[in-house]
Each structure stands twice: as structure tokens, then as C-alpha cells.
Amino acid sequence: MAAKTIISRPIYGTLSPQPGKHHLFIADAEGALAITDMAGKAPPGFFDGAEIVFIPGPEGKHIAALEALKPAQLHLPPSFASLLPRLRQTLTNAHMGLRLYLAGTEGLIGQAMQAALEAGIDHTSMQTEHRGSLARRMQCVHCKGITENVTTQPALCAHCGLLLLVRDHYSRRLAAFQGVCINAEDRSEIPPMEEAFP
């Protein structure tokens, strides 16, 4: 897990069962393991009122482990974009007493949190646990384009092609780290690109 460098750099915790009437889990990839680990600490019947939304990824791992928890509902959408309309609908119709648990990659946690913030849940009220890749969602501060799954430092903006320094400066509103041109003074200066967010 990444160390806290500046105040906006998100820090993730460990999922723990909260009091509530309805428990909504959103996870991808290894995030499933955060849910199964938490299940060991949950009171009996906890998953009777739980809804798990899990993006399994290409290998389809961990699905059986989540089914074994016998949640009230289990959805397996193919991507975050495909689950977003349904998530927004759920949050719009939800009542106080819904608790949100986000687990998996930073991109997934950040984007689910973005939708939840819009629905009026304070970010400190959400349970989060980072598992898996450190790949970042990055916003180019110059063209405002978002580049997904950035693993290098510096990184190329997929939209305008500028070479960007991927900062720890994070925007919850955009669910993205900020990327700033690394060679604005002299574009011929090309620093080596290293694998920084595996």
C-alpha cells in the first residue's frame, strides 16, 4: 500500500462490518478476498442483507468464494462502466442505513466513491480496502482527458500525448490522480519511463 505523501493521497483501510440495514459491496479482482476475509469477522446473518457487485476480470477468479457467502444478491458486471447506471439507481433509491464497502484496485474504489459522494455519502463513512494493482486513473491537467490504468512514471496522456508526471495529488471529485507535463520547458528532454504503479 502506498504511503501518505500529501493530504489528498487516499489512504485505504481494512473492511470491517458496520451496523446498518443494507450492505452494498463493490469490488474487482483481488478485492473479492477483502470481502471473504471480512466475512470471518461478520456477525451471523450479515450477508442476508448484503448485495455484492463484483467485476471478476478475464480469469473469472473468486466468484465461487463470493457465492459461498450467500449474499442476498450477487452481480457480476463485466466492467465499471457497465455497473455504473445500476449503482446510481441503487444509491438514488437507498435510505440511510445503507453501508458501502469498496475493495480492489484504486481505480474501482475511486470511481465507486465518486458515485457515492454524488449520492451524499461522506467519503469517511465508506469502508475501503485496496487489493491488487496500484495502477492509477490519471487526469491530464492540460487537456483534462482521463487515462486509465497508468502504471509508469512518467506516463503518456492517451488524449493529447503530453508526457506527464503522475502526482500523488488526487481528486475525489474526478476519481483521478493529477498528471502534469514533465518537460514543459524543453520538450526534447525525455526522462526515462519506469514501471512505478505495478
Partner 1 sequence: MSTGTTKLDVVVSDVVPVNDLVTRFHFRRRDGELLPTFSGGAHVVVEMRDGDRTRLNPYSLMGSPLDTREYTVSIRRDDVGRGGSLFMHRQVKPGLEMVISYPVNLFSLDLRAKKHLMLAGGIGITPFMAQTSQLAGAGGNFELHYTCRTASLGTYADVLRERYGNRIRLYHDDREERIELDRLLSSQPLGTHLYVCGPAGMINWVRDRAAALGWPSETVHFEHFAAPQPGAPFDVTLAVSGKTIRVGEQQSLLEAIEAAGVDPPYLCRGGVCGQCETNVISHDGKFIHNDHWLSEEDHRSGCKIMPCVSRFEGKSLVLER
Tell me which of 5, 79, 82, 125 binds partner 1, using CB under 8 A: 125
Q: How far apart are CA 183 and CA 72, in angstroms?
A: 52
* The three cell numbers locating residue 17: 462490518
Count residues contacting partner 1 (CB under 8 A)?
19
For 133, left (φ over 0), alpha (ψ -120 to 50), or beta?
beta
Closer residue to partner 1 in complex, CB, 5/125: 125
- Find out whether 99 and 38 touch, Cβ atoms under 8 Å: no
Within a 10 A sphere around the Cβ of 79, how many other Cβ atoms?
A: 10
Q: 80-107: buried (b, 16+ CB within 10 Å) or exposed (e) per residue?
A: beebeeebeebbeebeeebbbbbbbbbb
3-state secondary structure of 26: strand
- Residues in 17-46 that interact with partner 1 by CB under 8 A: 18-22
Tell me which of 91, 102, 157, 162 binds partner 1, using CB under 8 A: 91
Closer residue to partner 1 in complex, CB, 83/163: 83
Tell me which of 39, 121, 163, 166 binds partner 1, using CB under 8 A: 121
- Find out whether 155 and 167 touch, Cβ atoms under 8 Å: no
Q: How far apart are CA 115 and CA 121, in angstroms?
A: 9
Tell me which of 74, 76, 84, 94 binds partner 1, using CB under 8 A: 94
Residue 188 engages partner 1 in binding (rule: CB under 8 A): no
* The three cell numbers locating residue 66: 463470493
CB 114 to partner 1: min, Å: 14
CB 39 to partner 1: min, Å: 18
Closer residue to partner 1 in complex, CB, 49/145: 49
Closer residue to partner 1 in complex, CB, 79/125: 125
CB 60 to partner 1: min, Å: 32
Q: Give the interface segment with partner 1, choosing from 53-61, 68-76, 81-89, 96-104 (CB under 8 A).
A: 96-104
**Site residues (CB under 8 A) for partner 1?**
18-22, 91-92, 94-99, 119-122, 124-125
